[in-house]
Amino acid sequence: MDVEIAVEGSENARSELESLRQWLNQEDEYRGLVDFAPAGIEPGRLGALQEILLAAIAAGGVDALGRTIGVWLQTRRSEIKVSLRADGSVREVSASGPVAKTVAENLFGDARERLGQGG
């Protein structure tokens, strides 16, 4: 399944996307599966063509991807909104610093709970 990843809230979204791409490509699960792609222009929207990241992940992997992005958000100094679009639905997480992991877990679920390990 392809997941589109967009970043907002930074003066240099391209730089943030590059940082996120590098972060994800360091993870075994996503290595070589994440790269830049042009974003489609939504009907009725004007503006410059934006770039997104396109991740080719296994079906059902959006939650794990979201949690990984939550860890990346912890490294950001300013609040950034990351949108994940897959199968016609969009999920967004907006945070920075230590709280980002908790925000992502609330949105995408705690990985330990999904593995049956509890808190």
pLDDT tens-digit series, residues 39-51: 776 666 555 557 8
C-alpha closest to that of 92 among 8, 30, 23: 8
Residue 18 — pLDDT band, cuts 50, 70, 90? very high
- For position 54, what pLDDT does the model report? 93
pLDDT for res 26? 93
**Does position 21 have pLDDT exceeding 70, yes or no?**
yes
pLDDT at residue 110 in the model: 56
* Predicted pLDDT at 95: 81
Residue 71: band (very low, low, confident or very high) from pLDDT cuts 50, 70, 90: confident
Q: HEC profile for the chain?
A: CEEEEEEECCCCHHHHHHHHHHHHHCCCCCCCCEEEEECCCCCCCCCCCCEEEEEECCCCCHHHHHHHHHHHHCCCCCCEEEEEEECCEEEEEEECCCHHHHHHHHHHCCHHHHCCCCC
- Kindly report the length of the chain: 119
